[in-house]
Structure 1
C-alpha cells in the first residue's frame, strides 16, 4: 500500500471513530452545537481521505494512462469526481 492510501486509511479509521462518538453524543442527548462541530470534523477527515485517494489515482493510474497514450477515460473520471465535490 502506498503512502497516500495509508494516510487515507488512517483518516477513514479516525473518522469512523468520530462518527461512532457522534452517534453516542446524540444518544446521550448532548448539546446540538457540540454534535454539529463533531460532524464538521468528521466531514473534514472524509474530505482529506478523498483527496489523498484522488492524489494517488492521479500519480499512478492517470500517469500510467498518459504514458500509454490512453488518458482520456482517466481524465474524465477525475473531472466527474471533482464536479461532485464542487457541487457540495
Structure 2
C-alpha cells in the first residue's frame, strides 16, 4: 500500500470513529449544534481522504495510462469525479 492510500485509510478510520460518536450523540439527544460541528468535521476528513485517493490515482494509474497512450479514459474518469465534487 502506498503512502497516499495509507494516509487515506487512516483518515477514513478516524471518520468512522467520529461517525460512530455522532450516532451516539444523536441517541443521547445532545445539542444539535455540537452534532452538526462533528458532522462537518467528519465531512472534512472524508474530503481529505478522497483527495489523497485521487492524487494517488493521477500519479499512478493516469500517468501509466498516458505513457501507454491510453490516457483518454483515465482523464475522463478524473473529469467526471471533479464534476461531482464541484457540484456539491
TM-score (norm 2): 0.99
1:13-34 Cα offsets, whole Å, 9 max, x none, are 0000000000000000000000
Q: RMSD of the TM alignment (CA)? A: 0.3
Runs of 4+ aligned structure 1 residues displaced above 4 Å come to none
Structure 2 match to 1:18: 18
Which ranges in structure 1 are unaligned for 5 or more consecutive residues? none
Which ranges in structure 2 are unaligned for 5 or more consecutive residues? none
Q: Distance in 2 between matches of 1:22 and 1:86?
A: 26
Structure 1 match to 2:5: 5
Structure 1 match to 2:79: 79
TM-score (norm 1): 0.99
- Number of corresponding residues: 88
Q: Secondary structure at the match of 1:30?
A: coil
